[in-house]
Each structure stands twice: as C-alpha cells, then as structure tokens.
Amino acid sequence: EVQLVESGGGLVQPGGSLRLSCAASGFTFGNYWMTWLRQAPGKGLEGVASIKKDGSEKYYVDSVKGRVTISRDNAKNSVYLQMNNLRAEDTAVYYCAKWRGSQSEFDHWGQGTLVTVSS
C-alpha cells in the first residue's frame, strides 16, 4: 500500500523558515517524480514544486521561486521542502504527492501538514 506521510508544519513568523518532510513507502520511490502541492484555507489547489526521480530536475511555481527548495533522498525514501522568508500568503496545508512526470496525474497524496505564517 502506498503511503505518504508529511511532517514539519507549524506556526512560523513572517520571514521565518520551515522544512517539510514527506516519508514514502509502498512503492519504488526512486522511480517517481515527487511534487509538493498546497491548499490555502478555503481555497483551491496549487502545485508548489516538483523534483525528478534522481533529483536532477526541479520546478517551482513562480510565487515561491528563490524562497523554496525541493530535495529528495532516495536512500531514505523521502522528499523535502525547505521554505525560507515565509509570507502570510504561504499559509496552507501542504501535501506531497507521487507523480509519474510530464502529462500524468498525481495518483497518491499524503494527508497534508499545515503551515501557518503569522505574527
């Protein structure tokens, strides 16, 4: 059974940093792209960052470029999202999702971790 378990969310002040983690199991982690998505309270879904199977390619939504870094450790079956210089508009539930890559769907999602940016 595929499982994705996010952790690392919490309350942080504007300008602060957080590192989210996603632990994967139940599939061959190194064979899949991974993506972080987010959902602001009461809002829709947005892709934040994606990383290729071997970590050689990374993509970011414009609103987080320069502030967010996605990384992965295939030996630990984990993907990470380092978020710096956080803003109020980054407040959201952050999900990691398994992705086969270009022109495919997000077929499994974690339960999400809430990030709240507030003073």
Partner 1 sequence: DIQMTQSPSSLSASVGDRVTITCRTSQSASIYLNWYQQKPGKAPNLLIYAASNLQSGVPSRFSGSGSGTDFTLTISSLQPEDFATYYCQQSYSAPLTFGGGTKVESK
Please give the residue ranges that form the binding site for partner 1 (CB under 8 A): 44-47, 59, 61-62, 95, 102-112
77: nearest Cα among 4, 18, 8 = 4
3: nearest Cα among 22, 25, 32 = 25
Q: Which is nearer to partner 1, 16 or 69 (CB)?
A: 69
Q: Which is nearer to partner 1, 65 or 87 (CB)?
A: 65
Q: Which is nearer to partner 1, 102 or 119 (CB)?
A: 102
The nearest distance, CB 54 to partner 1, in angstroms, is: 19
* C-alpha distances in Å from residue 84, one per residue of 11, 25, 30, 35, 60: 13, 27, 26, 18, 14
The nearest distance, CB 73 to partner 1, in angstroms, is: 23
Q: What's the one-letter identity of residue 1?
A: E
